[in-house]
Structures are given as structure tokens and as C-alpha cells.
A and B are shown apart, each in its own frame.
Chain A
């Protein structure tokens, strides 16, 4: 692998009851998957405010993965139903902002599905790798520098 190959930076929001334990299981079972995902533990996938997703992209993430309990298994009864509702809206919004909606992904991973976790993360990283860098921070910075140069 060359040193210049693009390595996607993925932010993962994992619910503490299912997906975080699923990721733990993948680790303790010594399953191998790429290290590009930064996991953030949330109480529930329903706690993932769309602001968090936007902030992740704005701060330089190339992809965002939200992962929670399977519908019906939510520790808070229906927190993940809300996530299910936000997801298509966020996808549509990203599309309007000319960001490939595939950069955002929602998955249900239970505490017993370490293998699914490893598979989902591997797949998602490969998908984002193909999409290439998003580079939001650089885009905005460049833009402002250009504007200030013109006005000076």
C-alpha cells in the first residue's frame, strides 16, 4: 500500500446497549477490520442529533456511521424509531448539499453481532474510500481565503 493512498476518516455513533457491545465483541473475538472508524458511544442511536452528523462532516469526516439496536430491541423502547425517521431526511439534505448521501449510513447491530459489525465497517470504509475525500474543512477555508484576497 502506498503512503499516499487515501485513508477515509469515519466517525461512528454507536448506541451503548447494542452496537458498542457488538463492536466490543468483534474486538474480543479478534475479528479483523480496518481501523478507520472512530467510535463514539451514545446512550441511544436516537440521541444522535443531526447536528452531530453535520459537525462530523464539517470537522473533516469522510463518512458517518450511525449504529443502534435492531427495531424492537431499543433499550428506550423506540429511540431508534426516531433515528429511522431522521435518516432519510438527512440523506435528502446531504444530497441537496451536493454531498454523496452514501457517506451517511445507518445500521442495526446487536450486542451479539460482532461479525456483522466487522463486515459493516469494512464495507462502509471501502465504499467511502471509493467516494474519495470529502475535505470539508479545506473547502471552506480555501473559499474564505480567496474571498479575503479579492476584497483586500
Chain B
């Protein structure tokens, strides 16, 4: 029982939770601004992880640097997906009427293609590399350096995102578009540009999270799907379209999962996540946090 109260476990929960914060943010952004349900979101995590894996294995480049390349690449994929596919979907009056369903199917197809291309290119054996894997002691807390680095990076990035949404004109524009699409047009927001930006930030941040993850865990072409699910749970927990609520909910899910697994067994991890998901949908469908419904 003492293990439950250890700093060790709290730290593990924070690392997991902070990754969820970043992954869920992109899902929330793309849904909130365009009502697109991106079930391929976790695959951006996978792509980011492979970018860092290969760059480290082939050229020894630190994942703490290659995470920027991973983010840039997945952000570019986001822009490509928007310009190539979703701009047309959003412009078509008939397709837009069932936008959520249509986008779900489209992203589902994209996800299958990405996963299978990845397993064709990299085969499906789990891969890992060793980087910053020494254990450092802080007080009586023993942690690996890569986890500490990941937590610092996610912490800084989360702070930057919060400040961006609060103070930057494009951050305000993203929130405005999420809250009231027509009003956003009226005040002169360049909706096209804000939508591309949402795709780029969302996908890029997921790719970066994948790069960080690759330092700590084994990667496979199919690692993305659990993150898609976790991101959906986080977004529901935090309230659909509520970005700050989603960030808090990411940490909460990390804590629930880590402590839940520690108290029961690792084999129950999925049961826990889906359990939380179903419970929230039944009891508080508007989300645990925030509470207010987002006006469409």
C-alpha cells in the first residue's frame, strides 16, 4: 500500500498525463474549430515516434532535437490533409450536413492506410532505443532522465500553448472560431488560415508527443490507436471543444490510469480507460470540467 503514496507513482502519472495533454489537444482543436472527428490522430503520435527512432538509430540525433523535425513533418501532414481533403469536405454543402460522420469515416480510412504503410515500411516488430536512460535520484525519487526530460518538454509546451491561446491573436481567433463560427467571420478572422493552423498545431503537437514517447517506450506501427482512444476520453472528460478543460483532463486521465493500474493490474488498463469514458458519458456527458456547454 505504501507504493501507492510514493513520489515514484505520482511522477509516472504526470508523465503519462502530460503526454495525454498534448495528444488530446490536437483532437480537440480539429474538432472544436471544424467539427471533424479525427480518429487518425494517434497515428501522428506513431509517425513522430518513428521519425525520432530512425533519426536516432541511423544518425544518433537526439530525440530532443528530432522532436522538432517530427513536429514539423506531422504539422505538414496536417496541412496536406486539410488542403487536400478536408477543405473540400467543408466547402461541400451536402457533405457538410453530416460532417462528423463523414470525417470519422474519412479519418478511419486514413488511419488504416497510415498504419499499414508504416508496417509495410518498418515491419511490425516493436522497436526501441536507449537514450538518456540513466536513473537520477531526486531526494528518494529515482527516475530515468528521459522521463524527466519528457515531463519538462511537455510542461513547457503546455505553458506555451496556454499563453498562446490567451494572448496571441491567432490563439484568440482559434477560441473565437470554436465558440461562434459566424461571429468569427463577422469580425474578420481569416477562417481558412485558422483552420489550417489548427490542423498544423494539432498534428504537430501529436508528432512531438510521439517523439518524446519513443525515448521511453517501445514503438510499433499500431501504437497510435490507444492514444486516439485516450485522446477521445480526455476530450470528453474535459468537455468537447474546451481546450483548457482538456488539458486538465489529460493529467487527470494519466493519474486515473497510473493509480488504477497500480491498485489493480496492468491487464486492466483498457478496462479502466473505457470505464472512465462510459461513466463520464453516462453521468456527465458535458464533461467533468468546465461544465458549460460550448455554443455552436
Q: Do A and B form a real pair?
A: no
Interface residues, chain A, with chain B CB atoms under 8 Å away: none
Interface residues, chain B, with chain A CB atoms under 8 Å away: none
